Chains A and B, each alone.
Chain A
């Protein structure tokens, strides 16, 4: 099972096993990581699962498109590697992925 590394804004690190086919958001919710709120449960409606993909991983993960891209523009403190974690599907290739979580989702 791929391991995803989540780093909260205060530096707290979590390592989570996340099943292939799930999402980076779901991995955070399953592991009760506070930095991801995910109020809409993954339907790309709320922009409360914003994360920063580690630069070394960004090319592999890919850029946001469509609705997600527009939502990210309006998220709190967007960066070039911002993504909504509900839109990142976990694959074997993402084993070891590092994402940082913003200070606030609002």
Chain B
């Protein structure tokens, strides 16, 4: 019987396996995951799961029985350690070698580690997996109890220092505030979200986090994490020092490409695939955060026509392309990326990719309210929109992008005009 092996058990794998069945794949499907869990939703980890509003089972993409029904099998807690593409053989950490007809890399990305002295102390965490968040929550529980014992004041909350003011850091800060924790965010740039948004959007998020009781310190480069066995302080190059019961480092991710690279597959900031999600080896495919893929729709934003995304919708779409390719059909991948981030009462929805913009115009009042749109343009053409509590504008922006409609920036910011009319 023919066999597809999927390496990685995240969002891409969770979509690929059932899509293969939908496309008529009759052979075996085996998913190899290095965590103990079947595929789960990663976005809630820094949001509802962190805040304790959702359980393990509630963030599973679907229950195990659903995979069983479609004869999709898992090998969990196992790692693929060697790939021999000439012999179509994959070696696992157990030493076992498995043959395949098709292979799919759905290996995703991992948290970027930083070489800060003291980052190996107990109480320093990264945030990428269920187990990371469980570790954080357990540590918080213990520290809160310790503090309650030592102090007569019950209001003495735990101190958490978050290193990195990106989406993961800010979402985590928002979730922790719900749990009445003192939160400090240290960002090395002069504003949060510097890599991905306009200054106006950074300014907005800094204001809201301050209103919600988070201390945000920009231009803060961490030089040392201190403590005896356990973390107790975080020191910055400026000399400033912050008390910390717990440190969470969120400074981006790196794609999991080593296995592919060692096997001789083309890798360049991700496993290189074409629009059919095929790698440089014809029976090996890849989908999701681990891929460097072309996207003709984003030519205005991309230097060399390729990009790597950290995005659930992208992982799902690319996985469908892989399924089609393996089943001998053609479903070239090209779609506009979109993203979301929930913090406090803010629903941020992002349509498109703002990279390369030369103009930003704001619809609404980002200085005083909690609802506005930042439209990103390049030579008058819309590239992206950051929509905060503006679901209508978000869906309009998606359509403006996909239909290539040009709108005068003066109209984009005019609140007296229903955004729906932009589509006419």
Hey, which bits of chain A sit against chain B, CB under 8 A? Answer: 26, 29-32, 34, 37, 39-41, 43-47, 67, 70-71, 73-75, 106
B21, B63, B70, B338: the one within 8 Å of A46 (CB) = B338
Which of B106-114, B201-209, B220-228, B391-399 is the contact stretch?
B391-399
Specify which chain B residues have a CB less than 8 angstroms from the CB of A44 in the assembled complex: 347
Q: Decide if A71 touches B391 in the complex (CB within 8 Å).
A: yes
What are the nearest 3 A-B pairs in CB distance? A74-B395, A45-B340, A32-B18
Nearest opposing residue in chain A for B317, CB measure: A39
User: What are 6 sample pairs from A and B whose C-beta atoms fall under 8 A apart?
Assistant: A32-B70, A39-B313, A41-B41, A41-B61, A45-B342, A74-B399
Least Cβ distance of A61 to chain B in Å? 21
B312, B347, B392: the one within 8 Å of A39 (CB) = B312
Specify which chain A residues have a CB less than 8 angstroms from the CB of B396 in the assembled complex: 74
Interface residues of B, CB < 8 Å — how many?
26
Least Cβ distance of A78 to chain B in Å? 11
Nearest opposing residue in chain A for B348, CB measure: A45
A37, A47, A67, A70: the one within 8 Å of B316 (CB) = A37
Least Cβ distance of B63 to chain A in Å? 6
Q: Decide if A70 touches B392 in the complex (CB within 8 Å).
A: yes
Bound complex: CA A90 to CA B188 (Å)? 46
B66 touches A (CB below 8 Å):
yes
Please encode chain B, from 52 to 93, with 1 for each CB lying within 8 Å of some chain A CB and 0 for all others: 000000000111001000100000000000000000000000
Given contacts A32-B18, A41-B61, A106-B402, A74 and B392 within 8 Å (CB-CB): yes
B406 touches A (CB below 8 Å):
no
Least Cβ distance of A48 to chain B in Å? 8
Q: Decide if A43 touches B340 in the complex (CB within 8 Å).
A: yes
Hey, which bits of chain B sit against chain A, CB under 8 A? Answer: 18, 21-22, 41, 43-44, 61-63, 66, 70, 312-313, 316, 338, 340, 342, 347, 349, 391-392, 395-396, 399, 402, 420
**A-B contact sample (10 more), CB < 8 A, given A39-B312, A71-B392:** A26-B62, A34-B22, A37-B316, A39-B316, A39-B338, A41-B44, A45-B342, A45-B347, A46-B313, A75-B395
Specify which chain A residues have a CB less than 8 angstroms from the CB of B43 in the assembled complex: 40-41, 43
Specify which chain B residues have a CB less than 8 angstroms from the CB of A39 in the assembled complex: 312-313, 316, 338
Bound complex: CA A75 to CA B396 (Å)? 9
Bound complex: CA A49 to CA B313 (Å)? 13
Specify which chain A residues have a CB less than 8 angstroms from the CB of B347 in the assembled complex: 44-45, 67
Q: Decide if B391 touches A67 in the complex (CB within 8 Å).
A: yes
Q: Decide if B62 touches A45 in the complex (CB within 8 Å).
A: no
Nearest opposing residue in chain B for A43, CB measure: B342
Bound complex: CA A106 to CA B420 (Å)? 16
Specify which chain B residues have a CB less than 8 angstroms from the CB of A67 in the assembled complex: 347, 391
Given contacts A39-B313, A70-B392, A30 and B342 within 8 Å (CB-CB): no
Bound complex: CA A40 to CA B313 (Å)? 8
Bound complex: CA A67 to CA B389 (Å)? 8
Q: Decide if A70 touches B66 in the complex (CB within 8 Å).
A: no
Q: Decide if B18 touches A70 in the complex (CB within 8 Å).
A: no
Bound complex: CA A41 to CA B313 (Å)? 10
Bound complex: CA A12 to CA B313 (Å)? 25
Nearest opposing residue in chain B for A68, CB measure: B391
Least Cβ distance of A66 to chain B in Å? 9
Given contacts A45-B349, A70-B392, A74-B395, A32 and B338 within 8 Å (CB-CB): no
Bound complex: CA A37 to CA B335 (Å)? 14
